[in-house]
Amino acid sequence: MECVALSPASSHFITDGLYTSFAMWRFIFRARSKTIPLNGAVTWKQGHDRTCRIRCDHIESLAHVICYCLVHPRALQLRHNALVGRVKTAIGHIVQIMYENQRVPNSNLRPDLVVAYRSEIYIIDVTVTFEDGKDPFDRARERKHHAYANIINTFKTPTNTVEIIPFAMGALGSCHPQNDYFMKKFVSRSYLTKFRKFCTCDTIKWSRDIYAEHVTGIRQYDPTELNISTQRPPEPKSETNEESMEIRPTNNN
């Protein structure tokens, strides 16, 4: 809950239920209160098998199921793609997208997005970590900075600046405040408020699907569905000027 408290958007659905299904609501409250029934949660039974139920020797904790279990690579990738899609939709009409999940020159690295804005280059990479306190967020961001530090010189020129932007989300829907540092440059305050909520609900939706499939063995999504925009709430209008978002129809009478 320490991570949830970092941003009001992480628990916005408690009061209004926006963009949240009943299944998501039921899952997230049990997950955040650590009352999800998993083998690894049973510590009081002597001799109880706490390992993962699906061909895995790891302890079946919630973190293992929704972040690390390699039985669900497709769903983990779709959760990641949903967040990348949110970022791209928010800034894509303002910036020039140079690379999208492509290998950059002179490297084998494939950042999610490399965008150009005026004389600035941003290397954006999304990461979803299990929010067990603030430290996992900090470590995830440090890993991204370390991983992409070697390609800064690929884009650096005497007339521009290059910056690595780790976009970190918690697997249980926690938003990291540092995400706002980058997004505020391109979107209005009202759009950013909705953007945070969408990212939270997208993450919860996919984490819930991963958990449900893990426990029941029933696929929760269409594995052939590549365009996941139909599975996400509709986007708000992409406005960068707050005043234009507040325009009201005038009455000529």
Q: What is the pLDDT of residues 44-76, one digit of tens each?
A: 777 778 888 887 888 899 999 999 998 888 899
Give the per-residue pLDDT at 26: 92
Give the per-residue pLDDT at 42: 76
CA distances to 68, 108, 201, 206, 208 from 213, rounded to whole Å, are 14, 33, 18, 10, 9
pLDDT in tens, 164-184: 999 999 999 999 889 999 999
- Is pLDDT at 17 greater than 70 in this prediction? yes
- Is pLDDT at 243 greater than 70 in this prediction? no
Residue-averaged pLDDT of the chain: 85
Give the per-residue pLDDT at 98: 96
The tokens describing 181, both together, are 């540092």
pLDDT in tens, 111-146: 999 999 999 999 999 999 998 778 888 999 999 999
In terms of average pLDDT, the best of 6-20, 29-43, 199-213 is: 199-213
Give ∠ CA 80-100-116 in degrees, rounded to 5: 120
User: Alpha helices, DSSP H only, in the chain?
Assistant: 13-16, 22-32, 62-63, 73-91, 135-148, 152-155, 178-183, 189-216, 242-245
CA distances to 64, 99, 115, 130, 144 from 111, rounded to whole Å, are 24, 8, 11, 21, 10
Give ∠ CA 200-2-178 in degrees, rounded to 5: 55
- Is pLDDT at 248 greater than 60 in this prediction? no
Give the per-residue pLDDT at 75: 92
The tokens describing 219, both together, are 């696929």
pLDDT band at 236 (very low <50, low <70, confident <90, very high): very low
The tokens describing 161, both together, are 């600046």
pLDDT in tens, 178-202: 999 999 999 999 999 999 999 999 9
Domain boundaries, the chain: 19-216
- Is pLDDT at 230 greater than 50 in this prediction? no
- Is pLDDT at 233 greater than 60 in this prediction? no
- Is pLDDT at 158 greater than 70 in this prediction? yes
Low-confidence winner among 38-52, 75-89, 197-211 (lowest mean pLDDT): 38-52
pLDDT band at 1 (very low <50, low <70, confident <90, very high): low
How large is the average pLDDT for residues 98-107? 93
The tokens describing 50, both together, are 């706490």
- Is pLDDT at 161 greater than 50 in this prediction? yes
pLDDT band at 242 (very low <50, low <70, confident <90, very high): very low
